[in-house]
Structure 1
Amino acid sequence: MLCYWGAQVREGLGLVQPDKVKHGNSGIRSVCPKTKVQDMSAGRSFVGFIQDGKVSVLRLRSEDYDHDGRRKQIQLKNDRIRLIVCGGDGAVLLAYGGKVLIMDKSTVYSSSRQTLSCLKSLKSLKFECFSTTDRHVPTVVNSLHRKKTVSISCGGEHTATLSKGGTVFTFGSGGSGQLGHNSFKDEHHPRVVAELWGSEVSQVTCGRHHTLISVASSKRIYSFGCGMQGQLGNGKMINESVPFPVNLPTECNHEYTIEKLIAGENHSFALFFKEPGNESKPNPSRGILTLDDRMIDRWLSGSDPWKVIKKEINKVFSSAASLNGSFLKTSCDQHYQTSEDHCGLDFDLAKTSFAKLTKNEMSTSEVVKVVQQMLPSLNPNPTGVESLRVYLLLPELIRRLQKQQRTELTEALASKILQLNPAARKVLETNWSKLPDDWLKGLVKLFKKASANLIGRMAADTMNWDIMTRLLKFVQILQMVYQVCCRANRNITKSDFIITETNDLLDVVRTKNLCIWLSVEKEKYFLFGILCGLAFNNTSVVHLPFPLALFKKLLNVKPSLEDLKEFSPVLGNENVWTDFTHKFAHSYIVILIFFYFNFCYRTDFVDKYVDYILNKSVEEAFEEFKRGFFKACDRCMVEIFEPEELRGVLVGNEEYDWDILKQKTTYEGSFYAEHPTIISFWEVFEELTPNEKKAFLLFLTGFEKVPILGMSAVKMRVTLLLNSTQDHLPQALTCHSLLALPVYQNKETLKAKLIEAINHKRGFWEE
């Protein structure tokens, strides 16, 4: 049954009046559709109906148009319509396939980009933004934050919202009393309609200058606002500023359920369904399609054809809005509490669902393609903190989707994160700081793995500026996450951010005393300098046995013959009267002395030769290294050190105190200080030679010298190597100074395996 009241709605609806329905003097009339009405909406010029997927409109008489009041069916080709929303002189139609159609007074248009672009010229509605200024982009209504809003309706110049508990807020123009606040004043902020407090309001809809409310518990409809044409349904032609009940036929309260309220310009409609014995319930809101665990289970079960699954995948993963609405923490309505400090996501559910999703190769491949197309569409100026949920879900999704050697999705995501406006990026960083530990580490691993992949390509190829640009994005994200972790005191250390593949960039030549020097190839030394500068900034010891000459050059101190002797003792002590050949940086410099030097020329020759070896021959490479080094750290901080001190900060010193190492060691899992394996380990360690102990330090930490702060800065942790046998070697995770030991049956086996491990490998665990 359809009840209508207000401005004259002419006969010709193609409907019949219900039997035995008595109408009072309030101007309310009712008709029964021959075919069930699926949806309807009212605008200024017409009322739209959807019946059996077909659209028909009833033209309304107004001061501008004099229509004959006949209902006319709109001819559509193959589109079945499920939803209609009418505005002033037009309407928007939504087809079952998701297609959007736009209809004006006489024509239906497809929602092409060209057609939709005309919407930009439309006047914007007035929203509560602490001003009366028009807004042409979506703007957050901060006063409704955490009000659990489930429904919104906009009138000519006012807006009404409905909260989950049934509370109604109105704001905007109140000149006709349409706000229901017992006044005719405008409201710039959402204000509760106090007269409805405590009522279980299920629907709210706004007309041009009036508002309709339905209360589920009493099956009543209330109205307020402009009533000059009877649109309030109370039998009076006056404006009302507080809610008054609509005088519905008695049958409506007993035999029918209110399905939908529609408020047009100067008329009102109520659509009732006859469902005996069924109490009136709030009208379920139409939500967008979102991803959930049940949907993924259905994809994996194969119960639906691939065509249907593919269509759903495209709908969900092509829309940031769909992902933002997925995996919400609905228990206790926590998702309604979304704020800058609370994202409202159920991370455990999302992680489980993504793990399921990647089990099906066809679904995974399709998701990768759709996400690749969706990422460029992300808005760098998102509206509201809810819009940032997609940036929290995508890293975990991409980490599981992306193949080992692919970085396209990660790169696209990194670009979009870096493009976010400062305010949005600040909120995202706050959300990062509150991520569960496994999600936070997963975020780091995603960009760390992508960085390692690109570094590997750079090491295998000549300098590629495109790769460097892409790498910079990943490093910037890692730097952002690292700073977030430091500020939030998260249980993740700087060691988690170390990319061990940077060793591949160190194209250096070792001499017999294990000193290294710069290659004549300069391209990679800018990056190398950045790495060393970062190590200095973070007080990290690195295994880089450069001679003192390098640190002198960084501090603008002139290298000497003694520095050449440190670099190459053989060359430094060589008799300058003899012929010699020196292999230097893949090039051979052959110097043949054909003549007798007078004593006065000897010093000059040595000075020039030292200058050539330590300065001129590597000038370009060193300048690149120096530029990179000071790009990553403050020159003023570096210059407070003497060359020997600077070398100590970067590469450590040789003041070994193995007793302190033992005192600072902690034990995890089933190990403890008095465990037989631990006792045997320290006994074996005491028996090692000094060089073997240094090799163990290198095996454990990645460097063989002592940090500038002393051995107390090395905090070794010992844990059990899971699923190990007597044949397994000890392993080490150098980023964490973590030693993993099998439980050996005797001390002899432990010693043999430990020496074998420290002599043959560095001890990195594969992640």
Structure 2
Amino acid sequence: MYCWGEAKLQELNILAKKDMCHNFDAVGLQKAVLTKAIRHLSIGDEVTVILWENGFASMAIRKQNGSRWKKISLTRNGNIVAVCVGATHAILLTKEGALLHWNSSDVSSVPKCLANVQNRQVVQIACGDNHSVALIKDGQVFTWGQNSNGQLGLGKGEPSTMSPQPLKSLAGIPLSQISAGGDHTFALSLSGAVFGWGKNSAGQLGLGDLSDRPEPVDVSCLSLKKTIFISCGVEHTAILVKDGVVFTCGSGRYGQLGHNSFRDELRPRLVAELWGSKVSQIACGRYHTLALVESQGTIYAFGCGEQGQLGSGQTDNQAVPLPVDIPQEQNSEGAIKRIFAGANQSFAVKKSGEDWVASHPNFDQIKMTWELNFEIADRWISSNSKSWTMTKRNITKILSSVSCVNGSFLEKSSDKHYSTSEYQCGLDLSMARQFFEKLSQSEKVLKEVESVVQQHLLPSLSPSPAGVEGLRVYLILPELLRVLLKQHRGTDLTVLLAEAILRLHPDSLRILESYWSRIGYSFFRTVVKNFHSVSKNSSQSSKKVAEMLQKLYAVNSLRHSRLNDSHFHIKEINNFLFELELMARQEYFNIFFWGESSKAMQIFAKFYTEVIQYLTAFPCIFDMEAKQKVFQLNVTSNSVQDRLTGIIPQTNHNTLRVQRQTLLKDTFEYLQRNIHDFHMPLKVKFVEENGIDDGGISQEFFRLLSKALISEDCNLLLEIFEESELVWFMSDECKSVDVYMDIGTIFGMALYNQCLVNIPFPSALFKKLLGERPTLRDLEELSPCQARCLKALLDYEDEELELLEQDFRVKGQDLIPNGGEVFVTKGNRKKFVDLYVDFVFNKSMARQFEAFAEGFGRACPEQTWRMFSPDELRMLICGEAKYEWEDLRKVAKYERCESSDLLILNFWRVLFELSKEDQLKFLSFIYGTDRIPIGGLAKRDMRIVRLNMDNPDEYFPLANACYGVLQLPNYSSVDILRDKLTHAINYCDVFGMT
């Protein structure tokens, strides 16, 4: 062992009598040939402790005159595993995990047990000048001592205490090391996250400022640096990362940062002079720093040298790392393996032969907290009746600790877990899956695990973990639920997990959602399946689970490999919707036809509305059929509420009277005249026609209105894109936007009354209504030509872009300030494309869309349709254009005839043989529109009635568009049926006439 600095080995009085010392006066070093190997050595102002590899320790305290040290014999049966000293106190850690404390003010000179941690297994200790830190096997951190600068991390205003206190703010973070300096403290996580707190007068916390921190704070600038060790001086900090690079921060008054200056550093800065040398160990004294490059056998020292602690033979301070001049002796064996620094002293230990025994190649005091692994799983499931009590105790210890769970199943291949961030969880979830599958081999083990997690682990979860590693538990537990739910257990645990996730602070929840969006397909599917499987229960907790599914559904849309929407649908809810619909129909009848508006009706209306609001908050749980049913119930809810509160007139419908010849003019006049009656069923009356509207006439009205709005007479309102045959708003700023509000109102009325509108807007319109931004893909749908040009622009080389001379202007308008002076280059072309798309869908028609959206919302309340996706909303309003005619035959019902009758066979033969144009006319004839609802023709109701009459060949077919009824005379031949049907669908344009 080599020693240099303030005191000589003889003065320290810590060696055995047989240990031989040799002085190297030229450089101020001493060499001691020891009779037994050293495990650890810790030096303070008033006390020095040396721990031998056999578990015994020697302690020396400075005498009052300060020149000599008094040796104290410690008889602890060789069970000491770690030692650490502060300025005037010492902590010893026993093999059993107990702590012994000694203070210079203690006249007994015998270390005493610390009561508060007696029943806990301590694995690490660290001392500042006047405070101490302990890491427990279950991941908890305890601090005690002075708290003048917040070095205990207990929070603002907390007093000093000699009783160890739990550091709750770090709960859940799996730690690998604790370290303490003068009045500041650090904790290092398993994946390299660094947390600091306490005094920061010189920037020793590395946070970029000089403010003290009374609670642990993430040193974010060290994220992803793969930090593996931290050493602290009085006012400076040294950080070692896995690649052998050293960072320092804090006070540079004596050059102890090694940056060739005496300035303070407020953030960790790389020690450039050590770059290229793979440092394996670091150690800080009060104002100096040591770094060991084991591969070279070289120790570098920098900082304060007044007491000779730099080993250079000089007493100057040095601001750059310089090698310690350890003499090269003849016949010297081994290399430097350990360095120690403390106060104004430095030590180095050389390994010789097999004499050196250490539990860790770099810092032997470091021991890990518990973790879940296959070895533990095998031990648990193989336990017998004699060992079961111990097994249960171990299960409780480990699985009640969030830190232990979060420190398990790390992705250690290629050190991937060191990349843990907001975007990478650092877990190998396949290991977690295998672990819990192994546990499932023992029913009693799995039952005990479930009980401990439910009773101890979940209640201890913090809504705001100190770091991202604290969120791993939410990814691990679904793998436990996976095996539990397979055995029809774990329902309560799943609900409790949902509640814990929903309690998370928004920032923590956002990070968890980021993890969900990136984990493997099978693991994300497991998370969804867990909550989906318990969502079928009609319990009070179902709302929490439904809320979880909705969040997972939103995450699913961000994933590269997405789950099908059916994974989120709850089929069982359809029965509930059916019952609710029956209730609503009865109450609707009571209110609107009997005029009942008693308190009981109001109570029902309130209940009904609350149920609908609850359901619409979680649209992901519905398939499209269920969504449509909820929409219908929601519309009814609005009607009931408005009727009871007197918002609308005491009538049961709105009547719109129009003439076919002036349909558009009459409609606009109606919309401008009536602004408060859209939340009632619409009844359309064509002037001088006999039809009664039970839905079919309204549908015919919207069909004709659609044709009128995209006719040549209205081509100044909507622009038709020839290539796609889609329409978009005209961008003329001079036009009044009132007409666009009317068009939006028409769309809203159609949706509210569940009619179809055939105005071919692109998906972008429905995205905008739902608050989503259109993309280049949407422009490709609207204008393939423009999209092709923009895509080509993204692939052009520099020369082609120069020839293009495209600036940031479109149709005479700047996309950016002074856009005509800025040309598109390779560096800004993506920005140009994004701005171009934004111009087409947003900037050029902002006023028009705003008016349209306002009209749409006033005709159909937003809460009724927000649950639909853009594509669903589009199909709900505009219908589909996929015609599977065989589906219509499958759903058809027959009255006064059979499907095998010749008349019916002839009808289907004729319909299938019609041209596509005539087939669409047939749909308009029987339904009032040639558009079909979501789900295709299979969702249409069709009833064919045979008319048995004299001279049937003289009559035309009849249709009731309100109910999808076709009345067919008993024609004598297929040819006559063809002629009569073709005539009917081409010339019957007036209701009440054939």
TM-score by length of 1: 0.66
- Residue in structure 2 matched with residue 57 of structure 1 by the alignment: 59
Aligned residues: 596
- Residue in structure 2 matched with residue 379 of structure 1 by the alignment: 462
- Segment of structure 1 superposing worse, 43-52 or 227-236: 43-52
Counterpart of 1:361 (choices 443, 450, 467) is 443
- Residue in structure 2 matched with residue 722 of structure 1 by the alignment: none
Shift of 1:47: 1.8
Matched letter for residue 325 of structure 2:
N
For the pair 1:483 / 2:554, whether they are aligned, the reply is yes
For the pair 1:508 / 2:579, whether they are aligned, the reply is yes
Counterpart of 1:449 (choices 521, 533, 538) is 533
After superposition, residues 193-592 of structure 1 pair within 5 angstroms as: 193-250=271-328, 254-275=332-353, 283=362, 286-300=367-381, 305-306=387-388, 309-310=391-392, 312-372=394-454, 373-401=456-484, 404=488, 406-453=490-537, 455=538, 457=539, 467=540, 470-488=541-559, 491-502=562-573, 505=576, 508=579, 525=608, 528-534=611-617, 540-542=624-626, 552-554=639-641, 556=643
- Residue in structure 1 matched with residue 985 of structure 2 by the alignment: none
- The answer to whether the 8 A contact 1:146-1:338 is kept is yes
- The answer to whether the 8 A contact 1:205-1:261 is kept is yes
Shift of 1:176: 0.6
Shift of 1:711: 4.5
- Segment of structure 1 superposing worse, 217-226 or 304-313: 304-313
* 1:505-557, Cα deviation, whole Å (9 max, x unpaired): 56938979x96668989597466323553488989432579799766425546
Change (3 A) 1:185 1:713: farther
Change (3 A) 1:356 1:218: same
* 1:205-234, Cα deviation, whole Å (9 max, x unpaired): 111100111111122222111111111122
Matched letter for residue 431 of structure 1:
Y
- The answer to whether the 8 A contact 2:23-2:31 is kept is no
1: distance between equivalents of 2:568 and 2:339? Answer: 57
1: distance between equivalents of 2:434 and 2:66? Answer: 61
* Structure number with bigger Rg: 2
SS at match of 2:60: strand
1: distance between equivalents of 2:883 and 2:355? Answer: 79
1: distance between equivalents of 2:874 and 2:586? Answer: 16
- Residue in structure 2 matched with residue 142 of structure 1 by the alignment: 220
- Residue in structure 1 matched with residue 922 of structure 2 by the alignment: none
Shift of 1:355: 1.9
SS at match of 1:138: strand
Change (3 A) 1:4 1:358: farther
After superposition, residues 684-699 of structure 1 pair within 5 angstroms as: 688=890, 690=892
Shift of 1:127: 0.7
The alignment's C-alpha RMSD in Å is 4.8
Shift of 1:144: 1.8
Shift of 1:177: 0.8
- The answer to whether the 8 A contact 2:876-2:934 is kept is no
SS at match of 1:332: helix
Change (3 A) 1:535 1:407: closer
Change (3 A) 1:318 1:24: farther
- Residue in structure 2 matched with residue 753 of structure 1 by the alignment: none
- The answer to whether the 8 A contact 2:39-2:51 is kept is yes
Change (3 A) 1:517 1:137: same
Shift of 1:58: 1.7
Shift of 1:432: 1.6
Counterpart of 1:640 (choices 859, 862, 865) is 859
1: distance between equivalents of 2:267 and 2:212? Answer: 15
* 1:549-605, Cα deviation, whole Å (9 max, x unpaired): 766425546787999xxxxxxxxxxxxxxxxxxxxxxxxxxxxxxxxxxxxxxxxxx
Shift of 1:297: 3.8
- The answer to whether the 8 A contact 1:60-1:67 is kept is yes
SS at match of 1:136: strand
Matched letter for residue 157 of structure 1:
E
Change (3 A) 1:43 1:517: farther
2: distance between equivalents of 1:150 and 1:307? Answer: 37
2: distance between equivalents of 1:657 and 1:244? Answer: 79
Change (3 A) 1:534 1:178: closer
Gaps in structure 1 of 5+ consecutive residues? 458-466, 564-631, 664-681, 693-704, 717-767
SS at match of 1:541: helix
Change (3 A) 1:251 1:528: farther
- The answer to whether the 8 A contact 1:517-1:546 is kept is no
1: distance between equivalents of 2:449 and 2:331? Answer: 49
Matched letter for residue 479 of structure 2:
E
Change (3 A) 1:713 1:240: farther
Gaps in structure 2 of 5+ consecutive residues? 119-141, 146-151, 161-182, 184-197, 589-599, 655-769, 772-852, 895-926, 939-994
- The answer to whether the 8 A contact 1:541-1:651 is kept is no
- The answer to whether the 8 A contact 1:128-1:141 is kept is yes
2: distance between equivalents of 1:654 and 1:197? Answer: 65
Shift of 1:14: 4.2
TM-score by length of 2: 0.52
Shift of 1:714: 6.4
2: distance between equivalents of 1:113 and 1:245? Answer: 42
2: distance between equivalents of 1:337 and 1:13? Answer: 44
2: distance between equivalents of 1:158 and 1:709? Answer: 75
Change (3 A) 1:651 1:222: closer
